[in-house]
Chain A
């Protein structure tokens, strides 16, 4: 499936990961263009519901990026995220999705290169998984 161009959502927290994305941008790091970045105040404001809706609507992969543990602007916001994402992943697995369609990672404001790496790897992984089967099975 070489011509498959996945649609990917990346939720980035305002204080670290979005700044990391910005740094990657101003540093002109090359990245696949499949990713729609959604800026949120904290990774903890990414409700599990958002991710589940995205996957239900046919988005091929969802990335949640936040500050490293200990660095969250809201102290323990990302602790919540770290606990919530595995539940979302398991639920997706239980109904038959590949849980790799959802990934959590930490990207600081200084990690433009890490941002590039995470995005590139994730896009490759989703390409490997193929299109989200939800539309086909629910139609």
Chain B
């Protein structure tokens, strides 16, 4: 048993009183999610491989009749969990969080503006990144050039759906991106509506985990697109996803005395 595995198991089973532990583990040179029961050898636990464990949890959850699961949660995972709790998809009493503060390198890779979990069990809290360089560069460009940039990016898409499959907050049972009403192009690339509709769908949900960008084989800067829209939503409504107590502004009525009326 590695030291890290031992430490994690002790937090999950002794400190938090969990029945299961969900984490990332290395086996035969591959790193993948693993669900461990109390007493099992955790093996080579890896905390440096970012992955949406909340997404994995959402797949297992319907089959988990009882017991509590401890999940390694970075700040973005924590926000993803909040979105699940908000929709009553998980029982908050059955999910225990092992707070992981992301490394400086990870924060830089995600251009993350919110990297520290509510309670840190492992890792050293790092400073947030103020800005995403690509976002700034794009918004400083003339619009035509920006459109060409995104068109170039979108044309690389091979419609593998990795971005939707790995996204923790893609909640719909039936994906409208698979409907030709909305994405009419029968072949590859899927055209602009695929990307715009996906971005729009996530406008009030995306917790900026960056999983879509990491999993995109075409290396489309999807996280930057999410960040751009997240900034707008914040500016218009003062809203950011990731808190079970707040309601999406797209689902509520206008305030009294608003100037639209």
**A82 contacts across to B, CB distance below 8 A:** 254, 260
Contact pattern, B 176-208, Cβ under 8 Å of A = 1, otherwise 0: 100001101000000111011101100100000
User: A87 to B236, Cβ gap below 8 A?
Assistant: yes
Whether, in the assembled complex, B228 has its beta carbon less than 8 Å from a beta carbon of chain A, the answer is yes
Chain A contact surface mostly: helix
**A91 contacts across to B, CB distance below 8 A:** 196, 199-200, 203, 229, 232
Q: Which of B5-62 contact A (CB under 8 A)?
A: none
**B203 contacts across to A, CB distance below 8 A:** 87, 91
User: A56 to B232, Cβ gap below 8 A?
Assistant: no
Contact pattern, B 225-261, Cβ under 8 Å of A = 1, otherwise 0: 1001100110011000000000001111110000011
**B261 contacts across to A, CB distance below 8 A:** 68-70
Which residue from B147, B150, B196 sits with its C-beta under 8 Å from A52?
B196
Whether, in the assembled complex, A131 has its beta carbon less than 8 Å from a beta carbon of chain B, the answer is no
- Decide: A56 near B191, CB < 8 A? Known: A87-B203, A88-B200: yes
Whether, in the assembled complex, B146 has its beta carbon less than 8 Å from a beta carbon of chain A, the answer is yes
User: B193 to A90, Cβ gap below 8 A?
Assistant: no
Residues on B lying within 8 angstroms of A by beta carbon are 138-139, 141, 143-151, 154-155, 176, 181-182, 184, 191-193, 195-197, 199-200, 203, 225, 228-229, 232-233, 236-237, 249-254, 260-261
CA distance A97 to B143 in the complex (A): 7
Closest residue of chain B to A54 (Cβ to Cβ) is B193
Q: Nearest chain A CB to B163's CB is how many angstroms away? A: 16
Contact pattern, A 52-64, Cβ under 8 Å of B = 1, otherwise 0: 1101110000000
User: A96 to B146, Cβ gap below 8 A?
Assistant: yes
19 additional contacts, CB 8 Å, given A87-B232, A92-B196?
A49-B182, A49-B197, A52-B196, A53-B181, A53-B182, A53-B184, A55-B192, A55-B196, A57-B193, A70-B261, A79-B253, A83-B254, A84-B250, A91-B200, A95-B147, A95-B225, A96-B145, A134-B147, A137-B147
Whether, in the assembled complex, A117 has its beta carbon less than 8 Å from a beta carbon of chain B, the answer is no
- Decide: A95 near B236, CB < 8 A? Known: A57-B184, A83-B249, A83-B250: no
Most buried by B among A57, A76, A90, A91: A91
Q: Nearest chain B CB to A21's CB is how many angstroms away? A: 22
CA distance A83 to B236 in the complex (A): 9
Which residue from B144, B196, B236 sits with its C-beta under 8 Å from A86?
B236
User: A87 to B150, Cβ gap below 8 A?
Assistant: no
**B229 contacts across to A, CB distance below 8 A:** 87, 90-91, 94
User: B200 to A93, Cβ gap below 8 A?
Assistant: no
Contact pattern, A 91-119, Cβ under 8 Å of B = 1, otherwise 0: 11111111000000000000000000000
CA distance A70 to B147 in the complex (A): 37
Q: Nearest chain A CB to B156's CB is how many angstroms away? A: 12
